[in-house]
Amino acid sequence: MAQILAASPTCQMRLTKPSSIASSKLWNSVVLKQKKQSSSKVRSFKVMALQSDNSTINRVESLLNLDTKPFTDRIIAEYIWIGGSGIDLRSKSRTLEKPVEDPSELPKWNYDGSSTGQAPGEDSEVILYPQAIFRDPFRGGNNILVICDTYTPAGEPIPTNKRARAAEIFSNKKVNEEIPWFGIEQEYTLLQPNVNWPLGWPVGAYPGPQGPYYCGVGAEKSWGRDISDAHYKACLYAGINISGTNGEVMPGQWEFQVGPSVGIEAGDHVWCARYLLERITEQAGVVLTLDPKPIEGDWNGAGCHTNYSTKSMREDGGFEVIKKAILNLSLRHMEHISAYGEGNERRLTGKHETASIDQFSWGVANRGCSIRVGRDTEKKGKGYLEDRRPASNMDPYIVTSLLAETTLLWEPTLEAEALAAQKLSLKV
């Protein structure tokens, strides 16, 4: 993750004329490498594979792959928003008369909030405000994906709309001048359908202990690579600022990284990347979970480590600015923990490369701390910090804006600052 926060030009997505994407055969090629478990499981996957050769399925695929550009200027826009749980994604499609390049060109829309747990039945209309556009890797052509946030008909953000508050923080002059960069490491776990058990694991049993799986290669170590690779390419096609992927410590678990992204863009890109992953696993017949501790016991959980830097941190003398930021973060530890994802107490135990949820800590190159500083940052005297506390199901709008607020806008009392500095052995 160090590379993605190294000094580089600020990335801004611009819609360009997309080349044609590979046909849906890409998704049909997803091969789920699993150990032999039960004959019924193997048979069910083979039936799925055989169905793709069925003439009816092939006719549907040919329609899905139709290029409409020679016949009409009209395009399909898929409006995407966050549902009532604060972590589920919803979407629906509409036709636009011509291609667009900026969200300001898009109409607002609405949906039935009573069916998503976001509005009462007697006043169910929720308004979608388009905020970011990405190319659509499923439909290709000039078709687009649209990240939206959600409002009442009166124009007030509904409770699950965390983007509005984040945008307010990132538009603050002091925050804006510091050009906050974020690199987000999204871990996730792939599950076998119907049994809620990790992909590749024998149902109801366990593979060998952790050790060979992290960045592992081979049929006995890596399960779900085709899904990870398909997602990687879909993100690149869409215009998401994805910077890498890797297999994780627990088998069946993967990670992708997004960044460096500036301000509100980080949340938009992570949410769109999550949407693509949900769609790809849907097509592959695999279940995606962002549960921070999907399997109890001696197995790593799933986090969403957030790398963060400001302009002052990246310049000469930046390590002192980083230490001041760490001090502020220590004083608001429980406020951050409460906003960093559901079920995080099952993950932040002090084991499996985590710090205890109840105790703030920091260290250089220490993955058992709340905040990690890289050795390169220490050596150069400038760079970034890594907040290792966020859970895999965190809301990136909340986490990124809270980091900016705590380190750039919030000021502790001198007494609290002095006590915290002494406790953390920080000289600021």
pLDDT tens-digit map of 288-330 = 999 999 999 999 999 999 999 999 999 999 999 999 999 999 9
Confidence band for 413, pLDDT divided at 50, 70 and 90:
confident
Confidence band for 380, pLDDT divided at 50, 70 and 90:
very high
Confidence band for 53, pLDDT divided at 50, 70 and 90:
low
- Residue 23 pLDDT more than 60? no
Give the tokens for residue 387. 């907040």
Mean pLDDT score of the chain: 89
Is 72 exposed, middle or buried, given 0-12, 13-18 or 19+ CB atoms closer than 10 A? exposed
What value does the mean pLDDT take over residues 390-405? 98
169-422 has which CATH code? 3.30.590.10
Q: Are 191 and 198 in contact (CB under 8 A)?
A: yes
What value does the mean pLDDT take over residues 202-221? 96
Closest CA to 34 of 24, 25, 20, 44: 44
- Residue 35 pLDDT more than 60? no
Confidence band for 16, pLDDT divided at 50, 70 and 90:
very low
What value does the mean pLDDT take over residues 160-184? 98
Instruction: Name residue, tokens 């919030």.
Output: 410
Cβ contacts of 258 within 8 Å, gap of 6 or more: 183, 184, 186, 240, 241, 242, 243, 266, 269, 270, 273
What value does the mean pLDDT take over residues 218-235? 97
As a whole number of angstroms, the distance between CA 15 and CA 30 comes to: 28
The reported pLDDT for the residue numbered 415 is 78
The reported pLDDT for the residue numbered 428 is 54
Task: State pTM to two decimals.
Answer: 0.87
The reported pLDDT for the residue numbered 17 is 41
**What is the CATH architecture of 64-158?**
Roll (3.10)
Give residue limits of the domains in the chain: 64-158, 169-422
As a whole number of angstroms, the distance between CA 339 and CA 343 comes to: 11
pLDDT digits (tens, 9 = 90+) for 114-130: 999 999 999 999 999 99
What value does the mean pLDDT take over residues 243-262? 98
Which residues sit opposite 315 in a β-bridge? none
The reported pLDDT for the residue numbered 2 is 47
C-alpha dihedral sign at 91, 96, 102, 106? negative
The reported pLDDT for the residue numbered 5 is 52
Cα 298 from chain centroid (whole Å): 25
Confidence band for 34, pLDDT divided at 50, 70 and 90:
very low
Give the tokens for residue 281. 């696993």
The reported pLDDT for the residue numbered 423 is 75
Q: Are 306 and 384 in contact (CB under 8 A)?
A: no
What value does the mean pLDDT take over residues 19-27? 38
The reported pLDDT for the residue numbered 242 is 98
Give the tokens for residue 344. 């995080």
Confidence band for 111, pLDDT divided at 50, 70 and 90:
very high
Closest CA to 400 of 270, 273, 272, 278: 270
Confidence band for 61, pLDDT divided at 50, 70 and 90:
confident
Worst-scoring range by mean pLDDT, 43-52, 75-84, 164-173, 387-396? 43-52
- Residue 13 pLDDT more than 60? no
